[in-house]
Copies of this chain bind each other. A is one copy, B any other.
């Protein structure tokens, strides 16, 4: 059995130490780290993975595409997959800014408190890198879905894109606008907005009269949903409804689940050379970690 080699492709000048340490803690033996990686520069690096180990040992090499620039990482991920041919390929995972693992963690966390298929879900900050993935994962899994952005135009573009890809109706609203009506019906509210922007104030939270779970994924204070603390982890939110109060999660409260998913996904890369882990595939791993044999959505 060959040792586990993970090639870390990062568009940032300095490859992420976060991604590296999680990889080591997931059982990777050797990390080959690369910064300033462009799609073109990734080709010979992928060839090195394809042409060094034969037969069963090929599965002991894998590729992780990460860093802080989501669009740049997505372009590298596409190029990596185009470079493979036939069975000459290795496992590859996309998780820039932890967007995929964070989105998967948010969805399975929500599913602990609400039956998704029977729930209306609202995603705030839905057009950012994490929000897009949360919305994409919820579309078709939640009973109904509203995506909200500060720009109605961007929200509508996203709703159209997701609706086409997932064959599911998606409503688009802007902050203000008809958001309050959506929130009044929502069992699941997930905020994934930009750092330092409060998307839902205390009055808005009070209006979430049917909420079962509110999740704020913004790791940099102030949080996006007023009243949620970064460390909240299933904390009961008083003052919304007394019979069945919702619970709140902050970024650190979701963090443990996210890290477990991240590590399990790295591990999965070495199971099969066919593994190509983007949002959907990483959510499947997350469901498995929740002890579900089937997708709850």
Contact = CB atoms under 8 A, between A and B. Distances in A.
B24 A30 contact: yes
Interface stretch (A33-41, A170-178, A195-203): A33-41
Stoichiometry, as copies per complex, reads 3
Contacts of A53: 21, 25
A179 interface: no
A52 B2 contact: no
Given A24-B30, A25-B52, A32-B20, A45 B5 contact: no
A127 interface: no
A48 B17 contact: yes
A68 B44 CA distance: 10
A102 to B, nearest CB: 13
A279 B17 CA distance: 27
B68 A17 contact: no
A282 interface: no
Contact of A18 (B12, B24, B47): B47
Interface string A60-90: 0100000010000000000000000000000
Interface string A10-26: 00111011111110110
Given A21-B52, A32-B20, A53-B21, A14 B44 contact: yes
A33 B31 contact: no
Contacts of A30: 20, 24, 31
A184 to B, nearest CB: 36
Contact of A14 (B17, B20, B29, B37): B37
